[in-house]
Each structure stands twice: as structure tokens, then as C-alpha cells.
Structure 1
Amino acid sequence: MRKSLMRMTLRQMQVFRAVCESRSYSRAAEEMALTQPAVSLQIRQLEELVGQPLFEYIGKKLYQTDAADALLRASNDIFQRLEVLDMQLSDLKGSLQGQLRLAVESSAKYITPHLFAAFQAQHPDVSLHLTVVNRAQVIKRLSDNRDDLVIMSLVPQDMALEFLPFLNNPIVAVAPPDHPLCSAAKLSLKDLEPWPLLVREPGSGTRKACEEHFQQKRAHFPHTLEFASLEGSREGVLAGLGLALLPRHAVSREIRSGLLRELPVEELPLYRSWCLVHARGKRLSPVAQAFVGFIREERALISQLAERFSPNPSPT
């Protein structure tokens, strides 16, 4: 090993990771409570130790070099090992402590806080870092080993992944209560075709699931409006812009209150399972292992939590 690499400090790597994350020296300085010259100095010293430039400007944008990509992977490994060490030391004291880094598809963000709250009730010294992204970004984060675990549906088959299905994600058709289709007792997807359909952005898991379902059922929607979030799609339906196929968990409150109506479409709900996923062979931290165990063993509790998002919850 190069002796120069042994002189790298954890502080330098923290600053480097902040620059990679923010793609900006000034934003990294703000995040680290440093001046911009101090950040520049740390990066310059790190480049001297590595022997290669780590960043380059093209136009006004900051880009990582190949050397930076390699260093980022190594630094992520180092900090993950330190987090695991911290958890293991806490475990030796008889308590589970640490942070769970969880990335979830946007359709899972409604129930995930409830899942973690139930988990934290058993392990009060565990904290959460939650990242909400679309399916394409989840897959990228899995490839980059950014998180302890992810929650997603439609787990890709061409990646070496371990996954644990744990809860259905029903996708339903919704409309504003004054829409003409709301008076129908029974509908098919074909009946929805003449109306504008609000869809998610490319890369969304909900959009991918719906497109595959439409293809199987030979349904075609020529008039679409694209929204980059579940909330945008939901508000678009509330505004009367069209119909949408959305996870029932995302619209349960609106359906209960009468602001939206779930349409009685024969080919729906479309069921996809939420899965807890990590790379095959990944060394899970004690906190991540405990969360996997919680998801595997507490199925009855998880079903009770999901019932809160039903349009017609069972009386307790």
C-alpha cells in the first residue's frame, strides 16, 4: 500500500464525501461548518495524497473523476465499518444502538415511518436516516451500496439481490367525486381510456407496474399528463385534471374524507409486493439485521399498521 494513503484522515474523507454529495465546495463548506477555502485546502491535500485530481469543472458544473469514484467507494466502506463497530460495541453493552440507513420507493414512504416507529419501540436507541426516491434511483443506490436496506416493489431480476416480500401495495384508480365514472357500479380499464390519465415520471415503480398491466390487458391511454411525484398526481386528480392509478396507501385519507373516489375497475386493484432488499453477500450491520428480523417476524403487527391506510379500516 502507498504510504501516502496511510496519511489520509477521516476528517478529509468526511469533507470529500460532502463535496461528492453536494457537487459544490460552497455547499459542502456550509454542511461541514467550514469556510470554502478550508474545504478547498482539504481536497487539495487529499489529491496530493491520492496523486490524482478528484474533481474537475466542466462549464460551471463540478464532476468527479475516476479517482474520486474509487475513493468514494473506499470511504463509504470505511465509514460503514466504523458504524458497524459502534453498533457492535453498543451490543456488547447489551443495547442495540446506531442508525438505520433506509432508502424507499416513494409509494412506500407513507407506511415506512409507521414500520420504523414500531421497530423503534423495541429498540429505542436506534435512529433513522430515510431517503425517498423513485425506482430507478433505488436501483442506482443498490448498485452503489449507499444504504443498509431498501424498500421497493418489482425487484430487478438481473441483479444479485436478497429480498423479503412483506406487504401488498394495492394500486387503484381514483377520480374526483363529481366525475361521470363515479356513478358506475362496475368499470373496466377500457372505460377509463377516453379520459386523461395522470402518470408518474419515467423511472417510477408505480408507472412501470401500471404500464406492464396495461399491456397485459390491452388498455391504451392516448391522453396523459406527467407528474414527478405521488403528491403531484394526487393533487392533479383533486384539481379535476384527470384520473390516476395510485397506491391506495397514498390516497386513503382522501378516499375516506370523500375528496376522491376509488373507481370499481374489474382489473384493479393491481397488487405488487413491497420488499425489503439488499445486495446478496452484503454484510449487514446489527441494526439492519435487527430490522430484517423485525420485518420477518412481525407480520401480524405490519398488517395492523397497513390497516390504518385502508379506505374502510376495521374497527379496533
Structure 2
Amino acid sequence: MRKSLLRMTLRQMTVFRAVCDNRSYSRAAEEMALTQPAVSLQIRQLEELIGQPLFEYVGKKLYMTDAAEALQHACLDIFGRLENLDMQLSELQGSLQGQLRLAVESSAKYFIPHLFAAFRQSYPEVSLQLAVVNHAQAIKRLSINRDDLLIMAMVPTGMELEFFPFLDNAIIAVARPDHPLLRRGPLQLQDLTAYPLLLREAGSGTRQATQEYCHQKRAHFPQTLEIGSLEGQREGVIAGLGLALLPRHAVRRELDGGALVELPVAELPLMRSWCVVHPRGKHLSPVAQTFFEFVRQQRSQIGELVGRFQALQPGPVD
């Protein structure tokens, strides 16, 4: 090993990680309550120890070099091991403590906080770092081992992963209550193609699942509108911009309040399952292992928990 690498400090790696996360020296400085020159100095010192540049500007955008990518992987491993040590020391003291780094696909963000709250009733000293991402971002985070666990609906087949399905995810067609299709009888998916379809951004798991399913059923939508969030899709349907294919649990409030209506399409709902996922062979921290086992053991109760959460949601405000 290069002796220079042994002179790297945890402080330098913390600053480096902040710059990687923010892709900005100034935002990293703000996050860490430092001056921008202090952040720049820490990065220069790291570059001297490594012997290669870590960042480069193209135009006004900051990019990581190959050396930075390698150092980022090492930092994730080092800090993960320190967190794991902290948790193990807590276990030796008779309690489970530490942070669960959890990434969830965006359409799961409505019920995951309630799931974690149920977990925390048994383990009150566990904290949560929650990242909300789309499907493409989730796969990227899996590839670099960024999180303890991920919650996703379409587990990629080309990666070595351990996963456990724990909750049904029904994707349905929704429209506003005065939509012409509601005056007809039972519908086929093909009947919807005469109207605009609101889609999530490229990289969304819901978009990928619904597009693949529609292609399989030979239902091609010539008119589409791309809206980069599930909330935007809901409001777009309410505004009359078109139809959408969305997870039922994510529009339960609007369905119960009458702002949206589920269309009676014979080929729907499209059923998927939410899964808790981690790379195969990954050494889970005590907190992550305990949460994984909690989800596995409480699978039947999780459906009831989500049902109670949806029932408690307030209706739309006039």
C-alpha cells in the first residue's frame, strides 16, 4: 500500500463525500458549515496524497474523475464499517442503535415512513436516512453499494441480488370523474389509447412496467405527456390533461375523496410487488439485518399497516 494513503484523514474523506454528494464545493461547504476555501484545501490535500485529480469542471458543471469514483467506493466501505462497529458496540451494551440508510423508489415513499415508524416502536434508538429515487437511480445506487437496503418494485435480473417481496403494488388506470370512458361499460386497455396518457420521466419504474405491459397487450398510446413526478401526474389527471397508470395506494386519497376514479379495465390492475433488496454477499449492519428480518417476519401485518395508513389520509380540501 502507498504510504501516502495512510495519511488520509476521516475529516478529509467526510469533506470529499460531501462534494461527491452535492457535486459542488459551495454546497458541500454550506452542508458542513465550512468556508469554500476550507473545502477546496481539503480536496487539494487529498489529491496530493492520491497523486491524481479528483474533480474537473466541464463548463460550469463539476464531474468526478476515475480516481474520485474509486475513492468514493473506498469511503463508502470505510464509513460503513465504522457505522457497523458502532452498532456492534451498541449491541454489546444491550441495545440496537445506529442509522438505517434506506433508498426507496418514489412511489413507495408514501408508506415507507409508516413502516419504519412501526419498526422503531421496537427499536427506538435507530435513526433513518431516507433517499427517494427513481428506478434507474436505484439500480445505480445498488451497483455502488450506496445504501444498506433498497425498496423497489422491479428487481433487475442482471445483478447478483438478495430480495424479499413483502407488499403487493397494484397499478391501475385513473381518470377524472367526468371522463367520457366512465359512461361506457367494462373497458379494454385498447380503449384508453384514444386519450392522452400521462407518463413519469424516463428511468421511472412505474413508467417502465406500464410501457412494457402496454406493449405486450398491443395498446399503443399515440398521445403522451411526460410529467416528472407522481404528484404531477395526479394533478394532471384531475386537471383533465389525460389518463394515467398509477399505483393504487398512491392515489387512495383521491379515489376515496372522488377527485379521481379507477377505470374498470379488464387487463388491470397490473400486479407487481414491493421488494426489500440488497446486493448478494453484502455484509448487512446489525440495523439493516434487523430491519430486513422485521419486514420478512411482519409481511402479513405490513398490508394491514398500509391499509390503516390509507384509511387515515384526509380527503381533498375544497
Q: TM-score scaled to structure 2, two decimals?
A: 0.96
Partner of 1:83: 83
Partner of 1:174: 174
Large movers: runs of 4+ above 4 Å: 309-313
Aligned-partner Cα distance in 2 for 1:266–1:310: 25
Q: Determine if the alignment matches structure 1 residue 242 to structure 2 residue 242.
A: yes
SS across alignment from 1:95 = coil
Partner of 2:307: 307
Aligned-partner Cα distance in 2 for 1:245–1:197: 8
1:277-312 superposed Cα distances (whole Å, 9 cap, x missing partner): 000000100000001100100122101012236689
SS across alignment from 1:283 = coil
Within a 5 Å distance, the mapping from 1:1-316 to structure 2 comes to 1-308=1-308
SS across alignment from 2:39 = helix
**Contact kept in structure 2, 1:56 and 1:63, CA below 8 Å:** yes
Aligned-partner Cα distance in 1 for 2:2–2:211: 52
Aligned-partner Cα distance in 1 for 2:72–2:138: 18
RMSD over equivalenced CA pairs, Å: 1.4
Question: Is there any run of 5+ residues in structure 2 with no aligned partner, and where?
Answer: 314-318
SS across alignment from 2:116 = helix
1:92-113 superposed Cα distances (whole Å, 9 cap, x missing partner): 1111111111111111111111
Aligned residue pairs total 313
Aligned-partner Cα distance in 2 for 1:308–1:204: 27
Aligned-partner Cα distance in 2 for 1:266–1:305: 28
SS across alignment from 2:194 = coil
**Contact kept in structure 2, 1:248 and 1:309, CA below 8 Å:** no
Compare 85-94 and 304-313 and name the one that shifted more.
304-313
SS across alignment from 1:104 = strand
SS across alignment from 2:71 = helix
What code does the residue aligned with 2:77 have? Answer: D
Q: CA deviation at 1:189?
A: 0.7
Aligned-partner Cα distance in 1 for 2:305–2:312: 14
Question: Is there any run of 5+ residues in structure 1 with no aligned partner, and where?
Answer: none
